[in-house]
Amino acid sequence: MANYFSLLLVFLTLATGLIWLLDSLIFAPKRRARMADTAAAAGSTSGMDPQPELPYLVDTSQQVFPVIAFVLVLRSFFYEPFQIPSGSMMPTLLVGDFILVEKYAYGVKDPVFREKLIETGAPERGDVVVFKYPEAPNVDYIKRVIGLPGDTIVYRNKQVFIKPKCDGDSDTSACGELRAIPQEFVSRGEFVQEMAPLLRYRETLGDVTHDVLRHPRREFGSASFYSQPGTRRDEWIVPEGEYFVLGDNRDNSRDSRFWGFVPDDNLVGKAVAIWISFEFERGTDSWLPSWIPTGVRFDRVGGID
């Protein structure tokens, strides 16, 4: 849907701009000439340059073009708003959160063909990223980057293990070692899923500290579910130019464990802030449509960890 909106913006910008340009170069001078001839024939001596009334289509285009062009540039190259539709990134992001995505974080791309025009950076471990779902590129997904190109990732007993890629600048002994990502128990029962209180842990990915949720009984993360194995059923080696991503709600997220890696070309941008957050909780006897908010969570407005 987001891609269709981008195409619509591009079309409207080109259409209104072209109408304005053609009128300015071709039709406006002819209208002024006709008005001048009419005034001369009528013997007008006012000395004022006649200004004929603009056709409705041209007048509308002149007013709409600057607005649409500004939105197109802002949305395509700087920041784009997204809505969180599911709970796969809880507790970091909740259903009803509206976020801003920094489009230039991982390269400036054209809004139609998504070809990278300028290289500006690459995802870092722990970034929350929006990307085109590899199995359905018209769908936008949001997950957290866990594995970088060349990393070995293991997800075993609901614990993440990482062996970073070795390169010329790395300590060979450190990069060749599989290490568990530290987790610290925080609380239980703040979130409930399938009548079970979820366990909240604090996880540290390099310089990024964030919280994740684990279901006490559900085996959604069991290796038997995985469809994209690496060297083992619960181990993956991240290819060059691709990334391994997970949802923070580890037992309620379809992510790289199930459908594979995210190519660099699919990256949309980095989620940087929540600009508004709505509640949609209501009783079964409520007469309000489900899409109407029941409240605003002002305390959630701000940066994303």
pLDDT of residue 104 exceeding 90:
yes
Six token digits for residue 284: 């079964």
Active-site residue, from 143, 158, 163, 270: 143
* Amino acid 134: pLDDT: 94
For the chain, the average pLDDT equals 86
What is the pTM for the complete model shown?
0.83
pLDDT of residue 182 exceeding 60:
yes
Which of 67-71, 119-123, 168-172 shows the lowest per-residue confidence on average (mean pLDDT)? 168-172
**173 is annotated as an active-site residue:** no
* Amino acid 7: pLDDT: 81
**277 is annotated as an active-site residue:** no
What would the mean pLDDT of 89-117 be, rounded to a whole number? 92
> How far lies 263's CA from each of 92, 123, 131, 243, 260, in Å?
24, 11, 9, 6, 10
Confidence band for 144, pLDDT divided at 50, 70 and 90? very high
Collapsing DSSP to helix, strand or coil, 9 comes out as: helix
Alpha carbon 53 to its chain centroid, in Å, reads 44
Q: Give the residue carrying structure tokens 């004022």.
A: 48
H-state helical runs in 181-296 = 256-259
CB-neighbour burial class of residue 248 (10 A; exposed 0-12, middle 13-18, buried 19+): buried
3-31 pLDDT per residue, tens: 677 788 889 999 999 999 998 998 888 88
* Angle between the N-to-C axes of helices 56-77 and 2-22, in degrees from 0 to 180, rounded to the nearest 10: 140
pLDDT of residue 304 exceeding 70:
yes
Which residues, at least 6 apart from 106, have a Cβ–Cβ distance to it below 8 Å? 120, 121, 122, 123, 129, 264, 267, 269, 270
Q: Which phi and psi (to 5°) does residue 59 adopt?
A: -60, -45
Active-site residue, from 6, 61, 76, 88: 88
Q: Is the dihedral of CA 139, 81, 77, 92 positive or negative?
A: negative
